[in-house]
Chains A and B, each alone.
Chain A
Amino acid sequence: MDTHALAWPKEGNSRVPYRVFSDEGIYRAELDRVFLGPTWQFLALENELPNPGDYKTTFLGETPIVVTRGEDGQLHALVNRCAHRGNLVCLKRQGNADLLTCVYHSWSYDLEGNLKSVAFRRGIAGKGGMPDDFRMEDHGLQKLRTDHFAGLVFGTLSPETPPLAEYIGNMVGGRVGRVLYGKPKVLGTTSQILHNNWKLYLENVRDTYHASLLHTFFTTFRVARLTNGGGVLIAENGRAHASYTRTKDETVGREGSDQLYAGIQSQRAGLHLEDTRLLQQVSEFGDDITVQILSVFPNFVLQQVNNSIALRLVLPKGPDKTELQWTFLGFEEDDAALQELRLLQSNLVGPAGYVSMEDGAVGGFVQRAIAGAEQQTSVVEMGGYDHVSEETRTTEASIRGFWQAYRPLMGYA
Chain B
Amino acid sequence: MTLEEVARRLELESLYADYAHCLDDDRLEQWPDFFVEDAYYRITSAENFEAGLPLGLVYLTSRAMLVDRVMALRKANIYEPQRYRHQIGAIKIAGDSGAGLDVVASLVVVRTMQDGEMILFAAGRYVDRLVRSGDSWKFARKDVVLDSRQIDTLLAMPL
B-facing residues in A165-198 (Cβ within 8 Å): 186-195
Residue of B nearest to A344 (CB): B59
Contact of B155 among A273, A352, A358 (CB under 8 A): A352
User: In the complex, which of the residues B43, B55, B57, B65 has the most CB atoms of chain A within 10 Å of its own CB atom?
Assistant: B55
Residue of B nearest to A276 (CB): B68
Q: Hey, which chain A residues are within 8 Å of B57, CB to CB?
A: 190, 346, 350-352
Segment with Cβ contacts to A, from B44-52, B85-93, B97-105, B127-135: B44-52
Contact of B151 among A190, A274, A275 (CB under 8 A): A190
Bound Cα distance from A350 to B59, whole angstroms = 11
Chain B: minimal CB distance from A26 (Å): 24
Contact of B71 among A271, A323, A344, A358 (CB under 8 A): A271
Contact of A354 among B43, B47, B76, B151 (CB under 8 A): B76
Contact of A191 with B151 in the complex, beta carbons under 8 Å: yes
Q: Given the interface contacts A188-B44, A274-B68, A339-B54, does A360 sit within 8 Å of B76 by beta carbon?
A: no
Segment with Cβ contacts to B, from A67-75, A95-103, A214-222: A214-222
Q: Given the interface contacts A346-B55, A352-B43, does A217 sit within 8 Å of B64 by beta carbon?
A: no
The 0/1 profile, CB within 8 Å of A marked 1, for residues 135-159 of chain B is 0000000000000011111111000
Q: Hey, which chain B residues are within 8 Å of A394, CB to CB?
A: none
B-facing residues in A308-352 (Cβ within 8 Å): 323, 328, 339-340, 343-344, 346-347, 350-352
Contact of A193 with B55 in the complex, beta carbons under 8 Å: no
Residue of B nearest to A327 (CB): B55
Bound Cα distance from A186 to B59, whole angstroms = 16
Asked whether B58 is an interface residue with its Cβ less than 8 Å from the other chain, the reply is yes
Contact of B65 with A193 in the complex, beta carbons under 8 Å: no
Contact of B153 among A190, A273, A360 (CB under 8 A): A360
Contact of A357 with B53 in the complex, beta carbons under 8 Å: no
Contact of B59 among A271, A346, A364 (CB under 8 A): A346
Contact of B78 with A358 in the complex, beta carbons under 8 Å: yes
A-facing residues in B77-116 (Cβ within 8 Å): 77-80
Chain B: minimal CB distance from A305 (Å): 14
Contact of B56 among A191, A274, A275, A346 (CB under 8 A): A346
Bound Cα distance from A351 to B77, whole angstroms = 12
Residue of A nearest to B53 (CB): A188
Bound Cα distance from A187 to B68, whole angstroms = 23
Asked whether B61 is an interface residue with its Cβ less than 8 Å from the other chain, the reply is yes
Q: Given the interface contacts A274-B64, A274-B67, does A217 sit within 8 Å of B76 by beta carbon?
A: yes
A-B contact pairs, 6 of them (CB 8 A): A193-B153, A216-B75, A339-B54, A343-B55, A346-B56, A357-B79
Question: Which residues does B use to contact A, with CB under 8 Å?
Answer: 43-45, 47-48, 53-62, 64-65, 67-68, 71-72, 75-80, 149-156
Question: Which residues does A use to contact B, with CB under 8 Å?
Answer: 186-195, 214, 216-217, 220, 268, 271, 273-275, 277-278, 323, 328, 339-340, 343-344, 346-347, 350-352, 354, 357-358, 360-361, 364
* Other contacts beyond A193-B153, A357-B154: 11, CB < 8 A: A189-B53, A190-B151, A191-B149, A216-B77, A271-B75, A323-B150, A347-B56, A351-B153, A354-B72, A361-B78, A361-B153
